[in-house]
């Protein structure tokens, strides 16, 4: 880069800051976050040490260089358009998140605040304040990985507890298939052509029962599988129905009646369906266990409904003994449990999953008795998304 392309030295920056220039330059140079001034050509006219260190380069190498030269190629064009709006006085400032190449080190991530400065000579400059969030981002990602590991372990524990019910659930369609197949075989051996319509109906039922068994196994494999988060557009009522099919046998064995009150016209959500099914499964099983010792009819009500303007919700309510106000505030604490045996992690993990989907999970009293847990999630396409 020749001298004609270089930005003016700091002693030539009088137009930039006409009052308190010395103080400004001291703060600028010593700031713990990256700072840079760029001109109408989108070139650096001043950078500080923190920015140079973040990018694994020197202040001298950055001075006069194009601002696009330090950006990832796929972000450069969009960042220039934002800068042009600022330099054209269309906006006073903006905030973005950027990725920066960093020499031989891994790329850096930063929150960037850009502000317009109108100079005394009628010009305009852009001031960038660049906060390196790489380590915070990595820590957050590590936390997310740990939470995913814990959620997977909890799913496996739930499946282990449900083994007897699951075996019964799979055996039902298999037994039906055997019965229909044996009946069809006997009719074919009889040679009675009039039985063909009955045989066709039996074959259709065999196919239906086989698909039912296959679906049960597929859902179980999905719950047990350890995989990355995959978010999909899903109706909340379909998630509720799929989850109930997994736990039907366990619910019947505990003599619990399930009441479904599903709104069919509410908007869908953008979620990892396996994780949301894990929450609902946990809530339904907890509701059944809360009523184990009562002689009154046991009932769990599952509802889906609109929750405000930007959310939809699913609630699971029981008519058990309920929880005291003090316990309602503690049920989501890690390792807190009201069960005789249990780690006390199910509800804590469920709330973490809800929050990772920008949702909420809470508990409250159910009138006239019992407890209701509600999961609210942002509508797909709403402001949250």
Q: Please give the order of strands across the beta sheet that includes 44-47.
A: 44-47, 34-38, 124-132, 105-118, 93-102
For residue 159, give both structure tokens: 């499946």
Q: What is the mean pLDDT of residues 69-87?
A: 90
Same domain, 56 and 124: yes
**Structural domain contains residue 10:** no
Max Cα–Cα distance, the chain, nearest Å: 106
What is the SS3 assignment for 296-313? CCEEEEEEEEEECCCEEE
How far, in whole angstroms, is CA 13 from its chain's centroid? Answer: 47
User: Residues 237, 304: one domain?
Assistant: yes
Q: Could you report the per-residue pLDDT of 4-26, keeping only the tens digit for each?
A: 444 444 444 444 444 567 777 78
Is 361 among the domain residues? yes
Looking at the structure, do residues 126 and 149 belong to the same domain, yes or no?
no
Token pair of 156, please? 């496996």
Would the pLDDT of 337 be above 70? no
CB neighbour class for 191 (10 Å; exposed up to 12, middle 13-18, buried from 19): exposed
What is the residue whose two structure tokens read 């019910």? 165
Query: Closest Cα to residue 273, out of 247, 224, 312, 235?
Result: 235
- pLDDT per residue as tens digits for the range 172-201: 677 778 877 877 777 777 766 566 777 777
pLDDT confidence of residue 264:
80
pLDDT at 10: 41
Residue 52 to residue 58: CA distance in whole angstroms: 5
Residues 6+ apart with CB under 8 A from 141: none
Kindly tell me if the per-residue pLDDT of 155 is higher than 90: no
- Residue 316 forms beta bridges with which residues? 302, 373
Name the token pair of 321. 């003994």
DSSP letters for 283-351: HHHHHHHHTTT--SPEEEEEEEEEETTTEEEEEEEE-SS---HHHHTTTTSTT---SSS--S-HHHHHH
Instruction: Over range 322-331, report the average pLDDT.
Output: 82
**Same domain, yes or no, for 103 and 159?**
no
Q: Residue 94 CA to chain centroid, in angstroms?
A: 26
* Stated pTM of the model: 0.50
Clarify whether residues 22 and 101 are in a common domain.
yes
pLDDT of residue 222: 64
Instruction: Inform me whether the pLDDT recorded for 209 exceeds 80.
Output: no
Query: Beta 371-378 vs 311-318: how paired, if at all?
Result: antiparallel
Give the pLDDT mean for 286-302: 88
- Both 209 and 268 in a single domain? no
| Mean pLDDT score, 134-154 | 75
So what's the pLDDT on residue 249? 74
pLDDT in tens, 84-136: 999 999 999 999 999 888 767 788 899 999 999 988 888 899 999 999 998 88
Q: What percent of the chain shows pLDDT beyond 90?
A: 32
Let me know if residue 140 belongs to a domain: yes
Residue 1 lies in a domain: no
pLDDT of 226 over the 60 cut? no
Which pLDDT score is estimated for 24? 75
Q: Which residues constitute the domain of residue 74?
A: 16-132
Tell me which residue of 266, 228, 67 sits closest to 149, measured CA to CA.
Answer: 228
CB 141 within 8 A of CB 202: no
End-to-end Cα distance, the chain? 44
Alpha helices in the chain (DSSP H): 21-30, 49-54, 59-62, 73-87, 134-161, 163-190, 196-224, 236-253, 273-290, 325-328, 346-356
355 located within any domain: yes
| Cα 333 from chain centre | 20
Task: Judge if 280 and 311 occupy the same domain.
Answer: yes
- Boundary residue ending a domain (172, 204, 228): 228
**Beta bridge mates, 129:** 35, 113
What DSSP character marks residue 7?
P
Q: How far apart (Å, rounded) are the C-alpha atoms in residues 49 and 36?
A: 10
Residue 379 is assigned to a structural domain of this protein: yes
Together in a domain, 377 and 284: yes
pLDDT at 157 over 90: no
Same structural domain, 235 and 382 = yes
pLDDT at 81: 92
State which of 132, 155, 186 marks the end of a domain. 132
CA 191-192-197 angle, to 5 degrees, is: 120
Mean pLDDT of the chain: 80
3-state secondary structure of 254: coil
Q: What is the pLDDT of residue 335?
A: 64
Query: Rounded CA gap, 8 and 193, in Å?
Result: 99
From 68, 99, 132, the end of a domain falls on 132
Residues 206 and 237 in one domain: no
Are 301 and 378 in a shared domain?
Answer: yes
The highest-confidence range among 110-114, 161-165, 187-191, 231-235, by mean pLDDT, is 110-114
Q: How many structural domains are present in the chain?
A: 3
165 & 194 share domain: yes
The whole-number average pLDDT for the span 239-245 is: 86
What is the CA 260 to chain-centroid distance, rounded?
Answer: 26
Distance (Å, whole) CA 238 – CA 297: 27
The strand pair at 256-262 and 298-307 is best described as parallel
């Amino acid at each position: 880069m020749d001298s004609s392309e270089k930005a003016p030295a700091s002693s030539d920056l009088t137009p930039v800051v006409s009052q308190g220039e010395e103080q400004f330059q001291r703060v600028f140079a010593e700031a713990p976050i990256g700072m840079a001034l760029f001109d109408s050509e989108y070139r650096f006219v001043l950078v500080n040490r923190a920015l140079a260190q973040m990018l694994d380069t020197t202040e001298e190498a950055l001075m006069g260089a194009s601002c696009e030269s330090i950006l990832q190629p796929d972000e450069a064009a969009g960042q220039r358009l934002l800068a042009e709006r600022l330099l054209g006085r269309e906006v006073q400032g903006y905030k973005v998140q950027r990725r920066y190449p960093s020499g031989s080190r891994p790329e850096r991530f930063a929150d960037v605040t850009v502000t317009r400065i109108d100079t005394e000579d009628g010009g305009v400059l852009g001031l960038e304040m660049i906060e390196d969030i790489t380590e915070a981002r990595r820590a957050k990602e590590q936390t997310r990985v740990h939470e995913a590991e814990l959620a997977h372990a909890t799913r496996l524990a739930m499946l282990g507890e449900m083994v007897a019910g699951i075996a019964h659930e799979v055996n039902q369609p298999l037994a039906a298939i055997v019965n229909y197949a044996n009946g069809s075989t006997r009719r074919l051996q009889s040679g009675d052509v009039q039985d063909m319509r009955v045989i066709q109906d039996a074959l259709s039922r065999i196919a239906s029962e086989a698909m039912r068994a296959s679906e049960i196994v597929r859902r179980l494999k999905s719950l047990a599988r350890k995989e990355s988060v995959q978010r999909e557009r899903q109706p909340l009522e379909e998630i509720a129905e799929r989850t109930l099919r997994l736990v039907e046998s366990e619910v019947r064995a505990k003599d619990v009646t399930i009441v479904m009150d599903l709104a069919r016209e509410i908007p869908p959500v953008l979620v990892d369906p396996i994780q949301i099914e894990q929450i609902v499964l946990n809530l339904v099983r907890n509701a059944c266990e809360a009523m184990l010792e009562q002689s009154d009819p046991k009932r769990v009500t599952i509802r889906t409904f609109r929750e405000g303007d930007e959310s939809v919700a699913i609630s699971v309510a029981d008519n058990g003994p309920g929880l005291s106000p003090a316990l309602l505030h503690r049920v989501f604490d890690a390792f807190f449990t009201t069960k005789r045996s249990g780690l006390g992690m199910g509800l804590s993990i469920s709330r973490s999953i809800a929050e990772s989907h920008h949702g909420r999970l809470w508990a409250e009293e159910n009138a006239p008795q019992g407890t209701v847990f509600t999961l609210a999630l942002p509508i797909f396409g709403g402001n949250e998304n």
